Amino acid sequence: MKYSTMTRSLLLLPVLAAALQAGEIKVSYPRENQPLPLVARTFVFGVISPATAPFYINGERVQPHTNGGFIAYLPVKPGEFAFNCELREGATGYATTFLARKVRIGPAAPAGAEKSRPALEIVSPSSDLELSPGDYLNVHAAGEPGREVSFSLGSVVENERMAEIPPNSGRYYGSYRIKDADGGRGLGLTARFGGMLRHSGRSSRDIKVDILDRFTLIETSTDSVNLRSAEDGGYIMFLPLGVRLASDGRAGGMRRVRLTPTETAWIEESKVSETGRGGAPRTETGTIRLKAQGTGSSASIALYDKVPYSVEHDGDTLRLRLYYTHLHTNWVVYDSADALVKRVDMRQGAGYAEINFRLARELWGYNISYGPRNLQVDLKGPPAVPLKWPKPLEGLKVVLDPGHSSFYKCRDGSRAPMKDVPYHALPETCWLDGAVGPMATFEVDVNLALARKLRAELEGLGASVFMTREGEENVELTDRPRLAVEKGGDLFISLHNNAIPDGEDPFGSPRGFSVYHYHPHSFALARAVHRAFLREIQLPDEGLRFGDYHVARMPQMPSILIEHAHMILPDQEELLNAPAFQEKLARATAAGLLDLFGAPPRPAAKSSGKRRARR
């Protein structure tokens, strides 16, 4: 009896060991000690094993997907914070498992924060300024509440009263409009408490202000320079190297550009060099010559200086506006073989010349570049494709862009190959290029897999396909459109998968696919692909969208960006890893291209079997 009892106990040991085996918790996002913005709630995601065990984060029950992937949206507090994850012992027979993921919510306390704050501190402006008559000097200071505060600007403004808004907040605001009679350079900006001077800027030097009586002449010092509608506004122009501009203001690392008496733009100060002071640049147009080029047309405009330009595509017109330019075109020379441009007309505006290309056919894309003494405008017509099965897209050149690269980006500007540094060991100063999913699926890998599936699908339809990257090579974002142009692409498709910003509720709205375009001539492609996704892909529709993405802004061909799914959601991440779903996405995109060109339906396959004889 005793021997029998001992034997049974020994036989139970493997069962007891199994009952005590530990579960597993892996948090893919956020990383350990990752700084997060100051938000009230944010998301955390990863994977647990077993997927059926009760799982809690900071005491809240989290329901994982069937594969163990989870995402939770939880309240957080400023400062050092921990997501305390607990996989509890339950019917699965696993022991309770704990994991704490530490993060920082909001900015870190600045060095020396424990020291007493200056009595009065100028918050804005935080850097030197250049202002012109008519501009406002806006000053924001912070200090002890309930005091009388004023600011001065050299001898131009003395003891200008500032208002405390709201009362007793310690935040003081004042402004002064620069007058025509005002002038001076290197004027010091100061703030006072009553009669006592107290000033401490964000930088170690005092803030100086120049009041301009002439333009500061600048020139773009790099290629692909962006002009913005405001200091923090959207892009309105894209200029090459060597374009001359007139600046009449400077603030926060940006220069204001005066285009016409009523139009301004902003440009990064680091992208220009100062060439002197004086009046705005001036040039004039000469003869315009057109020449048929493939399915399109090439226009050469005689122009004697590099000036800023804007382009607007409106229906059957491409409108080119040349700033600082006088219209002095006496001849337009047409090419009788040109089937795209039917007419060119012009007009003189206040500080600019406008040239309108009236089109006889659909505009497929355009490219603008400066020559030694001319501006070259290349206009592209639609490509010719046969639309005959089995190769309806034969001759079409498609450039596929698997978004992102398999390199970490770091704050010092360097890059590190992902294969050399495990994601969990990534330093705080580096970050992933692209998104990651709960199961630690990297977007860069999924994008490449989708591109390969789509390439096979399009090549089967007769198209020639070029990919901006074939594997783990690093391709800079700015190089992707350049490669597409160099390869003579007819269409450009950038493939991505989505995430959401920190603090946003992942369950706040349906998440699925979306298709983005930028230029009007890209809209038809985006709409065709989006409609195909509506038919073929059973995920929520997040819409056809305008998107100010670098790869979508390429004007030389219709260009779109597809967000196929949200890979931070466990169920969609699982789909994206499935080859069958990848092929379904590829077929939907290819169907959109067939619809764009109006291809006829695929012929039904002929039966190869013999007809049965009637009995």
Return the percentage of the chain with pLDDT > 70, whole number.
Answer: 91
**Which of 171, 195, 211 is the endpoint of a domain?**
211
Which whole number is the average pLDDT over 412-436? 87
Mean pLDDT of the chain: 90
Residue 9 banded pLDDT, cuts 50, 70, 90: very low
CATH at residue 357:
2.60.40.3500
- Contact 71/64 with Cβ under 8 angstroms? no
* Global pTM value: 0.86
Residues 308 and 184 in one domain: no
pLDDT confidence of residue 601: 93
Q: Is residue 187 part of a domain?
A: yes
Question: What DSSP state is assigned to residue 436?
Answer: B
Same domain, 65 and 158: no
The mean per-residue pLDDT over the stretch 375-400 comes to 97
State the pLDDT at residue 425. 83
**Domain boundary pick from 229, 256, 278:** 278
| Better-scored residue on pLDDT, 589 or 144 | 589
What share of residues in the chain are helix, strand, coil (percent, to 5)? 15, 40, 45
Q: What is the DSSP string of 565-580?
A: EETTSHHHHHHHT-HH
Q: Average the pLDDT over each of 28-42, 113-127, 202-216 and give the range with the smallest value.
A: 113-127
Q: pLDDT value at position 423?
A: 87
On whether both 45 and 145 belong to a single domain, the answer is: no
Q: Identify whether 164 is part of a domain.
A: yes
**207 and 141 within one domain:** yes
510 shares its domain with 560: yes
Q: Highest-confidence range of 226-235, 408-417, 595-604, by mean pLDDT?
A: 595-604
Average pLDDT score over residue span 525-551: 97
Question: Does residue 255 carry a pLDDT above 80?
Answer: yes
Looking at residue 91, its pLDDT comes to 52
Classify each residue of 392-402 as buried b or exposed e, where b means 16 or more C-beta atoms within 10 Å of its C-beta: bbeebbbbbbb
pLDDT at 94 (0 to 100): 65
313 pLDDT more than 70: yes
Q: How confident is the model at residue 607 (pLDDT cuts 50, 70, 90)?
A: low
pLDDT tens digit sequence for 51-76: 999 999 999 999 999 999 999 999 99
Q: Please, are residues 309 and 321 in contact by the beta-carbon 8 Å criterion?
A: yes
Q: Are residues 514 and 577 in the same domain?
A: yes
Arithmetic mean of pLDDT, 125-138: 93
Instruction: Please tell me whether the peptide bond between 125 and the residue prior to it is cis, using omega within 30 degrees of 0.
Output: yes
Please tell me whether residues 460 and 484 are part of one structural domain.
yes
CATH of the domain at 485: 3.40.630.40
Residue 3 has pLDDT above 90, yes or no: no
The CATH number that applies at residue 151 is: 2.60.40.10
So what's the pLDDT on residue 426? Answer: 83
Q: pLDDT value at position 109?
A: 58
Q: Considering the chain, what percentage of its residues have pLDDT values greater than 90? A: 78
| Local confidence band at 201 (pLDDT 50, 70, 90 cut-offs) | very low
Q: Do 227 and 305 have their domain in common?
A: no
Checking if the pLDDT of 115 tops 60, the result is: no
Q: What is the mean pLDDT of residues 429-454?
A: 95
pLDDT 10s digits, 176-198: 999 999 999 999 999 988 755 44
Domain that holds residue 540: 397-597
* Domain assignment of residue 392, yes or no: no
Same domain flag for 443 and 537: yes
DSSP line for 207-225? -EEEE-SSEEEEEE-SSSE
Confidence grade of residue 233 (pLDDT, cut at 50, 70, 90): confident
Residue 609 contacts by C-beta under 8 Å, 6 or more apart in sequence? none
In a domain, 607, yes or no: no
Q: Which residue has the higher pLDDT, 147 or 559?
A: 559
Classify residue 603: in a domain, yes or no. Answer: no
What distance lies between CA 506 and its chain's CA centroid?
20
Q: What is the DSSP track for 118-156? A: PSEEEEE--S-EEE-TT-EEEEEEEESTT--EEEEETTT
pLDDT tens string 276-303:
999 999 999 999 999 999 999 999 999 9
What's the CATH code of the domain at 247?
2.30.30.40
Clarify whether residues 453 and 585 are in a common domain: yes
Coil, strand or helix: which one is 117? coil
Rounded mean pLDDT, 522-526? 97
Kindly report which listed range (91-100, 233-242, 284-293, 453-462) carries the lowest average pLDDT score. 91-100
> What pLDDT shows up at residue 11?
45
pLDDT for res 457: 98
Length, in residues, of the chain = 615
Instruction: Return the pLDDT at 5.
Output: 43
- Asked if the structure places residue 497 within a domain, the reply is yes
Q: Is residue 5 part of a domain?
A: no
DSSP code at position 442? B
Are residues 553 and 449 part of one domain? yes
Omega into 166 within 30° of 0, i.e. cis? yes
Domain count, the chain: 5
Mean pLDDT over residues 491-514, rounded?
Answer: 96
The answer to whether residues 403 and 551 belong to one domain is yes
Boundary-marking domain end, from 278, 304, 324: 278
Residue 472 has pLDDT above 90, yes or no: no
What integer is the mean pLDDT of 8-31? 65
| Nearest partner of 310 among 384, 189, 227, 400, judged by Cα | 227
Confidence of residue 90 (pLDDT cuts 50, 70, 90): low
